[in-house]
Amino acid sequence: MSAQSTALDDDARLMRYARHILLDELGVEGQERLLAARVLIVGAGGLGSPAALYLAAAGVGQLLLVDDDVVELSNLQRQILHTTVGLGRAKAESGRQALLALNPDIQVQALVERLDDVRLRELAAGVDLVLDCCDNFATRHAINRACVATGTPLVSGAAIKFSGQVSVYDLRRDDSPCYCCLFPEADDVEELRCATTGVLGPLLGMVGSVQAAEAIKLIVGMGEPLVGRLLSVDALRMQWHTIRFRRDPACPVCARRGPAAAACSGD
C-alpha cells in the first residue's frame, strides 16, 4: 500500500487507526489529514524519539527526521528510538528503521546533516509542520527564523534536569508570537546541556509526547493549540504551569508581520 494514498480504503488501515477514528473531534477526515501530512522533525534524540514514535503511530504520512549525530551508549537512558544494537549508527537512520518497524504504512526520510539557515528554510517550506526537538538555542532560533519566513507552524520543546517546556508558534496566524518573542537571541545566555547537568529520562517522554499531541491537533485542526502559551513541567514535584505571552512588537524576527502587543502573565 502506498503511503502517498490517503484514502482509508482497506481493513488494515481502518484497524490500525480505529481508536483515532472513534474520536468525534478527529474521525475519518482527521485521520486522512494525518495520512496526507508532511512533518519535519529536527532532532532524533530525547525529545525527537517520543515525538516521532507517536506521529508515526498516528499515521502521519511523511516524516523527515534530521540529525547529524550518532547513537552513543549514554543516549539510551532516554532516546527510545534507538537500541544497543544501533550504537555507532547515525541517529536519523536508526530512527527511520524504528519508525518504519512501528508503522510501515508511512514514509520516513532520514537526513544525516547539520542544517544551516538556507537548508532549514528550504525544508520548512516543503512541510506542513516543524517540530523543534533539538538541544541548543542557536538551532532553535535558526528553526524559528525559517518557520517565520515560510509561515510554517512550529512546535518547540525543551527539557533539562527535571524541567521541561512546550509551546506552539503558528506563524499562519497574525496574532501568534514566534520563539524569539519569548526567548530573545543573546550571546550571553548560559546554556545547560544534558551531558554536564543530567536529565530525567521520562521527562523527555512527557515533553516529546506533548509535542506530538500538539502536532496532531494542528494537522487535524482540532482543539486549542498552545499558541501564546508556554506549558512548563517540574517533574520533581510533578507540577504543570502555563504562562501566557503575546507577540513582541519589537521582535527582530517577526515584527514585520503586522501589529502586535507585548504581554506576559502566569495562570
Which three cell numbers, joined as nine digits, stand for 98? 524504528
User: How far apart are the C-alpha atoms of 130 and 133, rounded to whole Å?
Assistant: 9
In the block, residue with C-alpha cell 534507538: 82
Active site residue 194: yes
Q: How far is CA 164 from CA 39, 139, 141, 197, 233, in A?
A: 22, 17, 18, 14, 5
Active-site entry in 133, 134, 181, 194: 194
Nearest CA-CA partner of 173 in 264, 261, 257, 262:
257
Q: Are the CB atoms for 123 and 40 separated by under 8 Å?
A: yes
Output the CA torsion sign for 21, 22, 26, 27: positive
DSSP 234: E
Burial of 212 (0-12, 13-18, 19+ CB in 10 A): buried
Which positions are annotated as active-site residues?
Answer: 194
